[in-house]
Amino acid sequence: MASQAATETIRYPPGMDARSTRVAERLNAPMMVAAALTIPMVAISESHPGGALEDVARILNWITWIAFAVELVVMLAVVPNRRLWLRHNPLDLVIVLFTPPV
């Protein structure tokens, strides 16, 4: 039984290996926080409060956009097959390229 477990191959997501999988797992929590920050940012921006709240929304927008950009750069740096990884994670690139901060 133990020898069977030792001979089984580990499957990683497309374009990834053990190292990039570990990095992606470490980035999960910060990226969830960044994604959650978009909710108050949109709510504040759409209410057009002016003043300090408008500045808070702008700062949250920049923080989330930078977080998504950093995630993309880090993942492209650690995955062994960038083209395959991007083919299976196109939203990461779309978010960074087509939703710049306001």
Q: Quick one: tokens of 40?
A: 């108050």
H helices within 8-50, ranges in order?
18-47
Per-residue pLDDT reduced to its tens digit, 38-81: 888 888 888 888 889 888 888 888 988 899 999 999 999 999 99
Contact present, 30 and 67 (Cβ < 8 Å):
yes
Q: Is the pTM of this model over 0.85?
A: no
Q: How far apart are CA 92 and CA 12, in angstroms?
A: 18
Largest CA distance in the chain: 66
Contact present, 91 and 47 (Cβ < 8 Å):
no
